[in-house]
Amino acid sequence: MSALPATTTPFPVRVFGGPTALFEYGGLRFLTDPTFDGPGDFPAPAVVLTKTAPSAGTPAELGPIDVVLLSHDEHADNLDTSGRALLADVPLTLTTPGGGQRLGDKATGLADWQSVELDRPDGGTVTVTGVPAIHGPGPREEVEPIAGQVVGFVLTGEGLPTVYVSGDNASLDAVKEIAERFAPVDTAILFAGAPRFAEVFDGKVIVLDSAMAAEATRILGARRVVPVHYDSWAHFTEGHDELEAAFTAAGLADRLDWGGRD
């Protein structure tokens, strides 16, 4: 693997709890997996998702959003009622191929390695590439019938850092594929939290656990990691402390950026 990227002034990433993060990149404002509903129970196939804490902000506080990067639309801990309402005011939502069909004209689905180019306000473009993600243990063909399609994203542009948004991915093999094409990355927004359900996949993790997140960081050569998807929901079994411990054990604690929630 090539050396770490040269140090640049990192652009701020604001996290809101769960998988939701806001950042500006290339003059465009991106929001990941919008979830702003209050605490409560959200039925899903075979399980109930329980939100345990409110978001650290409201949609009204966001300001204009240019693009939503939506890892998938089928579970309320990635897109809830308020998040769906927010999509109506956003010019473009990038998501899974299935989600692109379900969410209407403003949504575009990205298959693996499929890219779209977005015009930057001051000239030039941002390229967003859909990258592999698997929402559970095992091969995609076994996981998707149960957990649905998921997509991750890589953002690139001339003179811009490389950014990886993992989405609800549990596969380090997928991370290795992404690293072969894009490593080293400057910023990785990693969905973690080791979510588990006894009713699904025999209780195995369906998104990265803390040790896997640290290993993904090593594989990607990521200079900065912003963890998301590790708090505010009952099925997340590992949180801030476990992430910090795993990154410390891996000698990567200096890569962590908690997005204002440390």
C-alpha–C-alpha distance, residues 153 and 216, integer Å:
15
In a domain, 29, yes or no: yes
pLDDT above 90: residue 22: yes
Between the CA of residue 56 and those of 48, 119, 164, 214, 251, what are the distances in Å? 23, 30, 23, 25, 30
In a domain, 7, yes or no: no
In a domain, 5, yes or no: no
pLDDT above 80: residue 101: yes
Number of domains forming the structure of the chain: 1
Place of tokens 């109930």: 48
In a domain, 236, yes or no: yes
Residues 28-48: tens digit of each pLDDT? 999 999 999 999 999 887 788
pLDDT above 90: residue 136: no
In a domain, 1, yes or no: no
Q: Per-residue confidence at 6, pLDDT binned at 50, 70, 90? A: very low
pLDDT above 50: residue 214: yes
CATH number of the domain where residue 224 is located: 3.60.15.10
Model pLDDT, residue 262: 55
| pLDDT averaged over every residue in the chain | 92
Q: Which domain holds residue 109?
A: 13-255
Task: Provide the residue count of the chain.
Answer: 262
pLDDT above 50: residue 74: yes
Model pLDDT, residue 4: 43
In a domain, 175, yes or no: yes
In a domain, 22, yes or no: yes
pTM of this prediction exceeds 0.85:
yes
In a domain, 3, yes or no: no
